[in-house]
Structure 1
Amino acid sequence: MKNSVYVLYHTRVDSFGCDNDKCLGVFSSLEEVEKAKQYALKQKGFKDYPDGFSAVEYEINKQEWLEGFGD
């Protein structure tokens, strides 16, 4: 059994200069990520920002954020 998944994101800078991030899904393989990316590239908005895609691999049952946060 595979112990990781891939999360596909799309990021663009909006008209206010802020990052606009979208999570497009969680996938079992890079091949599935590529299928989802190719689909999104045909959709309004995404096709105008083709360089905004990224995929991150996450290990299942592994905590990623180990410290607190604050000011």
Structure 2
Amino acid sequence: MEPLFVLLHSMAETGRVKVVGLYSSLDLAEAARERARGLPGFIDEPDGFSIEQYEVDRDHWPRGFVRL
């Protein structure tokens, strides 16, 4: 199965993360990032974007996590 690309935006001061969208290709996710960079809120934090690749139907935190 083909991977999905998740476009995320996080704010450094709060650590909050927003899912901007899910895309079928890296090119589509990068194009969405460029569109979002000019929108209210995002324009103030243009470096807060990241794109993550995920496989569908697979656990991505198989060992859990530790709170710091």
TM-score, shorter chain, exceeding 0.5: yes
- Aligned sequence identity (%): 36
Alignment TM-score, normalising by the size of structure 1: 0.80
Q: How many residues align?
A: 67
Q: Which has the higher strand share?
A: 1
In structure 2, the partner of 1:26 is 22
Instruction: Extract unaligned runs of 5+ from structure 2.
Output: none
Q: Over the residues paired in the alignment, what is the CA RMSD in angstroms? A: 1.8
| 1:65 positional shift | 1.9
Q: TM-score, normalised by structure 2?
A: 0.83
- Superposition misfits of 4+ residues, deviation over 3 angstroms: 67-71
* Equivalent position amino acid for 2:22 in 1: V
Which blocks of at least 5 consecutive residues in structure 1 are unaligned?
none
Is residue 5–residue 29 contact of structure 2 (8 Å, CA) maintained in 1?
yes
Taking a change above 3 Å as real, the CA distance of residues 31 and 67 of structure 1, as seen in their structure-2 partners, is same
Which amino acid is the alignment partner of residue 45 of structure 1?
G
Alignment-derived partner of residue 48 in structure 2: 52
**Shift of residue 50, structure 1, vs aligned partner:** 0.7
Within 2, Cα distance between the matches of 1:20 and 1:6?
19
Answer with 1 or 2: which has the greater Rg.
Answer: 1
1:9 is the counterpart of 2:8? yes
Q: Distance in 2 between matches of 1:9 and 1:70?
A: 22
